[in-house]
Amino acid sequence: MKNIRHFLTLNDLTAAEFKQLLERAVELKRMQHAGELYQPLVNRTMAMVFEKSSTRTRISFETGMTQFGGHALFLSPKDTQLGRGEPIEDSARVMSRMVDIIMIRTFEHSKIERFAQYSEVPVINALTDDFHPCQLLADMQTYLEHRGSIAGKKVCYIGDGNNMCNSYINAANLLDFELCIACPDGFEPMSTLTAQHQNRVSIERDPAVAVKGAHLVVTDVWASMGQEKEQATRIQQFSGFQVSPALMDSAAPEAVFMHCLPAHRGEEISTEMLDDPRAVVWDEAENRLHAQKALIELLLMDVIKE
C-alpha cells in the first residue's frame, strides 16, 4: 500500500515541513518568473472538485498543474454524478483510480475527511466551511517575502471566526506567532482550537485594542459562501469591525495587511484599504499559485521520484 499524504488542514504538515514548503514556494516563484521550464508532472492529472465558486483557487491549481507539465480537470457537481447523489465514498474510489491527485472545495469538513478516507491518491482541502489551509500557505509565503520570519510576531485577525480564522490558529501554532482575534460576540472561531492554543491565541472584542502593535492584520468577508442569506444581518452584527488605513495606523509601523479575497469594499474593509501601501493582497493572491505548486510537489514526492 502506498503512503498517501492528504492535506485537509495545516496540521497535516509538521512545523518543519511548513517552513520548507514556504522556502520551496519562494524558489518555484523565482523559477517561474525567470521562465525556467520545470515539468515534474508530465502526464499527471489533478481532479478539481468545486461545490462552491472560485476564482483564485481554480486558476492557481489549474495553472500550477499546467506549469508542472500535467493537466487539471474542473469538476462541478452540476455536471458530475456527485451532484446527483453518487456517494462520496464511491466517487473517491473511482476518481482516485484515474487521477493522481484530487482537490476539493466543499461545505462540511467531514465530507472531505470521508472522501480522503476512500481515496487512493492525495486529497487537498481547497476550502471547507471550517478550514482554508491553502490560503494560509500563500499568506505565510507573502509574509516571509515581505517581512521575513513570522515567528514571534503578532498577527491580528479582525472579523468572522470562520474557515480563515480557524486556519490562522493552526498556522500560529505551527509557525510560532501570537494571534489576537477581534470578532463580535457569537462569531468566535472553533472553541476547541482556541482552548487548545490559549497560550498564543486570544479573543478581543475591540478591534482598536486587538490591532495594537500587530505586524500582520488580516480580515475576511463577514458572510462566507453558504451564508448568503445572513449577509444583511451580518452587516449590522459586524459594524465596527471594518479594517481601514486609520485602524492600521494603530498596528506596528512595519505592519502589512492581507485579505484572502474576494473583498467587499465598504463592509469588512474600507473602500481605500486595498490601495493602501500596507496592503499586500495582490502578492498574496499570486502566491496561491507558487505555494500550492510546492504543496503538490510535496504530496506527490513519491510520484515525482519514480
Between the two ends of the chain, the Cα-to-Cα distance in Å is 16
Residue 6 and residue 126 in contact, taking contact as beta carbons nearer than 8 Å: no
Residue from 175, 180, 193, 260 binding ligand NVA (CB under 6 A): 260
Question: Grid cell 484515474 — which residue?
Answer: 98
Between 96 and 142, CB nearer to ligand NVA: 142
Q: Does 281 bind ligand NVA (CB under 6 A)?
A: no
* Alpha-carbon span 30 to 136, nearest angstrom: 20
* Alpha-carbon span 61 to 57, nearest angstrom: 6
User: Which one of the listed residues 156, 260, 278, 290 is annotated catalytic?
Assistant: 260
Q: 3-state SS string over 215-238?
A: CEEEECCCCCCCCHHHHHHHHHHC
Q: Does 57 bind ligand CP (CB under 6 A)?
A: yes
Q: Does 290 bind ligand CP (CB under 6 A)?
A: no
Cell numbers at residue 167, please?
486556519
Residue 66 and residue 72 in contact, taking contact as beta carbons nearer than 8 Å: yes
Between 17 and 286, CB nearer to ligand NVA: 286
Residue from 67, 141, 142, 163 binding ligand NVA (CB under 6 A): 163
Q: Does 220 bind ligand NVA (CB under 6 A)?
A: yes
Residue 255 and residue 278 in contact, taking contact as beta carbons nearer than 8 Å: yes
* Alpha-carbon span 67 to 42, nearest angstrom: 10
Q: Does 250 bind ligand CP (CB under 6 A)?
A: no
Contacts of 100 (CB under 8 A, 6+ apart): 41, 44, 45, 46, 70, 121, 300, 303
Stretch that binds ligand NVA, among 20-28, 72-80, 141-149, 160-168 (CB under 6 A): 160-168
223: left (phi over 0), alpha (psi -120 to 50) or beta: beta
Question: Grid cell 522556502 — which residue?
Answer: 23
Stretch that binds ligand NVA, among 104-112, 219-227, 241-249, 296-304 (CB under 6 A): 219-227
Residues listed for the chain: 306
Residue 304 and residue 40 in contact, taking contact as beta carbons nearer than 8 Å: yes
User: Which one of the listed residues 105, 109, 234, 290 is annotated catalytic?
Assistant: 105
Residue 194 interaction partner, one of ligand NVA, ligand CP, none, beta carbon < 5-8 Å per kind: none
Residue from 162, 167, 194, 287 binding ligand NVA (CB under 6 A): 162
Helix (H, G, I), strand (E, B) or coil at 269: strand
Stretch that binds ligand CP, among 26-34, 54-62, 140-148, 244-252 (CB under 6 A): 54-62
Between 141 and 224, CB nearer to ligand NVA: 224
Between 214 and 221, CB nearer to ligand CP: 221
Between 136 and 210, CB nearer to ligand CP: 136
Q: Does 194 bind ligand NVA (CB under 6 A)?
A: no
- In whole angstroms, how close is the CB of 127 to ligand NVA at the nearest point? 6
Q: Does 54 bind ligand CP (CB under 6 A)?
A: yes
Residue 55 interaction partner, one of ligand CP, ligand NVA, none, beta carbon < 5-8 Å per kind: ligand CP
Residues that bind ligand CP in the complex, under the rule CB under 6 A:
54-57, 127, 135, 260-261
Catalytic sites, residue numbers: 105, 132, 135, 220, 260, 288
